[in-house]
Amino acid sequence: MAGDPTKVDPIHQFHINTLIPIEVGGYDISFTNSSLLMVISVVLAGGFLFLATSSRGIVPGRAQSISEILYEFIASMLRDSAGSQGMKFFPFVFTLFMFILVANLLGMFPYFITVTSHLIVTAALAIVVFLMVLIAGLWRNGLGFFKLFVPSGIPVVLLPLVVAIEVISFLTRPISHSVRLFANMLAGHITLKVFSGFVVSLTSMGAVGFVGAILPLGMAVGLTALEFLIAFLQAYVFAMLTCIYINDAIHPGH
Amino acid sequence: MFVAKAYAEETGGHASTEGDAHTAGTEVPHGGAAQASFPPFDSSTFPSQLLWLAITFGLFYLFLQKVVLPRIGAIFETRSDRIAQDLDQAARMRDEADEAIAAYEQELADAKSKANEIGQQARDNAKAEAEAERKAAEAELESKLEGSAAQIEKIKDAAMSEIGTIAEDTASTIIEALTGGKTTKAEIQAAVSRARN
């Protein structure tokens, strides 16, 4: 590798590189490293769940136990927040959780791009959730869905203000929903890269640098553990918020 | 200039370095008109990301919904069925055990009552026998007593009649001694019998 090793670009890891160029109607829809990671995530997650449950054991093995725990985890989360009627959305929430979780975790591998560190991906997922909630809410409750914006027991004087706040908070949901995941993944990976960069920069400065590099190395190790936690946590938070939003579609009255 | 360099690196395999902070490794499509500084906000990659997200996520969703989730659901169902079945069997077995215990208790009670009956019978027999013996002994004693009483009566009667004679003799003798007179035997007899009664 040519170049100056003391200069590390923490943004470099987020670059989308074309692997197979495809262009249709003026749009660049190339198969990129991001696309590859999406495919790997899906194949890995789907393959694991498929193979783990193929024996259909009454007494589950280790892999089957993991699948069942994941299933129960999401099912109870959805049932607790949206009730048994919300279970219609279970396949979607489960897919969402598995996709984000595996994409986040795969992003921890060196040279793997983190699919969810791109705002367009998280925004697309959040908008799908938003539209699904909106359509399902209108479908199930008709105009009664708009009771969501009118909390009961509010004085009439305050009503316009409260309704305005409720409407704005509803409309900004996809933004907070998507930026939360995107920013967490982006910031975590940048921080990790910056501290790792310090290690590289310091060690190139000789003996003093080697000693000085111990601290950022420790930080990088600690941050790696933290990032694994965040990878899971953000997938959980995304799925959890989706469950809460689905509850609004089913039970719009506060 | 940067663009050209980056493009050259791109086409030259994976020679991109981390050194060129601004350009290295950047996807520069079609002459690099859109040279974004920050990849997540580079809108030229959006169509590709959206399309591939839709494809992968959609297929993943279909696969999970059609294959994996029903399968895991079926596993849970089979398991709960099996557990219910096992519980049923356990309940049936417990009922059988209860029945066996009841039968055993019944038999035990029967045997006990039978034993009681036999014991009672033996006791009754012994009692009856003892009673009969006692009655026989009593009867014998009674008859002996009666015989003795009759004898005593006889002796007493004999003695009584003797008493009459003795009294008459004594009376006649006393009268003779006192009065010197004679009394007839019939008079004395009448007087004695009067006095005795």
Do the chains contact at B39 and A56, CB–CB below 8 Å? Answer: no
Nearest CA to B167 among B144, B195, B147, B140? B195
Kindly state whether A10 is in contact with chain B, defined as any CB-CB distance less than 8 angstroms: no
Kindly state whether B61 is in contact with chain A, defined as any CB-CB distance less than 8 angstroms: yes
Percent of the residues in chain A that have a pLDDT greater than 90, as a whole number: 60
| Each residue's pLDDT tens digit, A42-72 | 999 999 999 999 888 888 889 999 999 999 9
| Each residue's pLDDT tens digit, A8-37 | 677 888 888 888 888 888 888 889 999 999
User: What is the ipTM for the molecules in this complex?
Assistant: 0.89
| Each residue's pLDDT tens digit, A194-211 | 998 888 888 888 888 888
d(CA A73, CA A239) in angstroms, rounded, equals 11
Do the chains contact at A14 and B40, CB–CB below 8 Å? Answer: yes
Contacts of B14 (CB under 8 A, 6+ apart): none
Residues of chain A contacting B61 with CB distance shorter than 8 Å: 91-92, 95
pLDDT the model gives residue A7: 59
* Interval B151-168 mean pLDDT: 84
Do the chains contact at B49 and A7, CB–CB below 8 Å? Answer: no
Do you know the residue count of chain A? Answer: 254
d(CA A18, CA B30) in angstroms, rounded, equals 12
* DSSP codes joined into one string, A137-191: HHHHHGGGGGGGGS-TT--TTTHHHHHHHHHHHHHTHHHHHHHHHHHHHHHHHHH
pLDDT the model gives residue B33: 40
Q: Side chain identity at B152, as an amino acid letter?
A: I
| Each residue's pLDDT tens digit, B169-183 | 887 888 888 877 777
Query: Where do the domains of chain A lie?
Result: 13-250
CB-CB contact of B29 with B48 (8 Å): no
- CB nearest A91 (choices: B21, B48, B65): B65
> What count of other Cβ atoms lies within 10 Å of the Cβ of residue A98?
25
As given in the structure block, the two tokens for residue B3 are 């663009």
- CB nearest A121 (choices: B49, B65, B69): B49
d(CA B88, CA B86) in angstroms, rounded, equals 5
pLDDT the model gives residue B15: 40
Nearest-CA distance B77 → chain A (Å): 10
Kindly state whether A53 is in contact with chain B, defined as any CB-CB distance less than 8 angstroms: yes
| Each residue's pLDDT tens digit, A170-196 | 999 999 999 999 999 999 999 999 998
Find tokens 């494809």 and name the residue: B55
Nearest-CA distance B13 → chain A (Å): 11
User: Which of B9, B16, B18 is best to mutate for the A interface (most A CBs within 10 A)?
Assistant: B18
| Each residue's pLDDT tens digit, B40-63 | 888 888 889 999 999 999 999 999
d(CA A56, CA A50) in angstroms, rounded, equals 10
pLDDT the model gives residue B167: 79
